[in-house]
Structure 1
Amino acid sequence: MFQTARSILKRDPAAHNLSEVILTYPGIRALFWYRIAHFLVIRRFFTFASLLSQHAAHSTGISISPEATIGKRVFIDHGIGVVIGSTAVVEDDVTILHGVTLGARKSVAGPRHPHVERGAFIGANAQILGNITIGAFSKIGAGAIVLTDVPPKTTAVGNPARIVGVPVDKVVEIDFKKHNY
């Protein structure tokens, strides 16, 4: 929890100190309760895990299935209205803003929720639906509805979401002296 709080302190310019983050940020509290509920699911105490998950959702406004897989230093900013489904995978250093849904499109066996790779940023009220992958260090714009994979280091916006701009690794620095700018 302290590792997550320190990473939030680095990423959020509104955070003043570590104690403020730990005591007042609902995202960190939701992740704390999620980790306990996930521990219970692994040990097959499903009812207790579900009760704890419901308590956390009621007190924080963030609903995380105890069966989801969530990495380290995940930052759920503001958090109200965030829903993370049972087969969702959220890797390390992901930022999720309020109102985001990592949900399913169909009721099928196996993975049916998104896989969000390391360092991705998901804007407010984005809906990411189905067994899709959000690539490492990609950005999902606010209000986007994502139904297909998003490659690493790209930005997706709109309804339905489409890739915009140039991938970060394709940007070429211009030598201004050479071109007389």
Structure 2
Amino acid sequence: MVFETYCFFLKVKLIMMQRKYGILIPARCTIGEGFFIGHWGTIVVNEKVKIGRNVNISQGVTIGQLNRGKRMGTPVIGNEVYIGPGAKILGNIVVGNNVAIGANAVVLDDVPDNVCVAGIPAKIVSMNGSDGYVNRKV
């Protein structure tokens, strides 16, 4: 009984913090070491998403699920990935290692390793990857 009451208060505290800071990252997410949020505000991550090591995200990012179509499911984000402000990563896709995703990009397809993508829908714009963008590595 005491444990259930304690869990209830932790859930209430989590909801209050989510509303205050505008960040919704469920405790059930799989997130690797070195995860870094550059600026807080309106960040939404689906609970089934898998995020690798040393991933940096910015404000306004959505990493979510698609509920129909050929890409139905949730994304898997690789290691050393930079996700720019306002980017949307949706569906059952894989974002490779050492990837930079540009501001306001909408990623709906798999992204290979060592590239930079931008646009709506996201397309490869550079083969330089995330070098120089990922901060605070572990």
What percentage of residue pairs aligned between the two structures are identical? 34
Runs of 4+, deviation exceeding 3 Å: 45-53
> Kindly tell me: are residues 67 and 123 of structure 1, through their superposed partners in 2, closer, same or farther at Cα, counting changes over 3 Å?
same
TM-score relative to the length of structure 2:
0.78
After superposition, residues 85-100 of structure 1 pair within 5 angstroms as 85-100=46-61
1:53 positional shift: 3.5
**5+ residue gaps in structure 1?**
1-44, 169-181
> Kindly tell me: are residues 107 and 67 of structure 1, through their superposed partners in 2, closer, same or farther at Cα, counting changes over 3 Å?
farther
* Aligned AA (2:109): T
Q: Which has the larger radius of gyration?
A: 1
Whether the 8 Å contact between 1:53 and 1:66 is mirrored in structure 2 is: no
**Paired position in structure 1 for 2:23:** 62
**5+ residue gaps in structure 2?**
1-5, 130-138
**After superposition, what is the alpha-carbon deviation per residue over 1:4-26, rounded to whole angstroms, capped at 9, x for unaligned?**
xxxxxxxxxxxxxxxxxxxxxxx
Q: Does 1:148 align with 2:109?
A: yes
Higher relative contact order (CA 8 A, sep 6+): 2
How far apart are the structure 2 equivalents of 1:101 and 1:46?
27
After superposition, residues 36-115 of structure 1 pair within 5 angstroms as 50-106=11-67, 112-115=73-76
How far apart are the structure 1 equivalents of 2:10 and 2:103?
31
The match for 2:119 among 158, 167, 172 is: 158
How far apart are the structure 1 equivalents of 2:64 and 2:7?
20
1:96 positional shift: 0.2
Considering only aligned residues, what root-mean-square deviation do their CA atoms show, in Å?
2.4
1:48 positional shift: 6.3
**Higher share of residues assigned strand:** 2
How far apart are the structure 1 equivalents of 2:81 and 2:40?
16
> Kindly tell me: are residues 49 and 128 of structure 1, through their superposed partners in 2, closer, same or farther at Cα, counting changes over 3 Å?
farther
**After superposition, what is the alpha-carbon deviation per residue over 1:103-144, rounded to whole angstroms, capped at 9, x for unaligned?**
111169xx8221111110000000000111111110100000
Aligned residues: 122
Whether the 8 Å contact between 1:53 and 1:64 is mirrored in structure 2 is: no
> Kindly tell me: are residues 113 and 50 of structure 1, through their superposed partners in 2, closer, same or farther at Cα, counting changes over 3 Å?
farther
Whether the 8 Å contact between 1:94 and 1:120 is mirrored in structure 2 is: yes
**Paired position in structure 2 for 1:34:** none
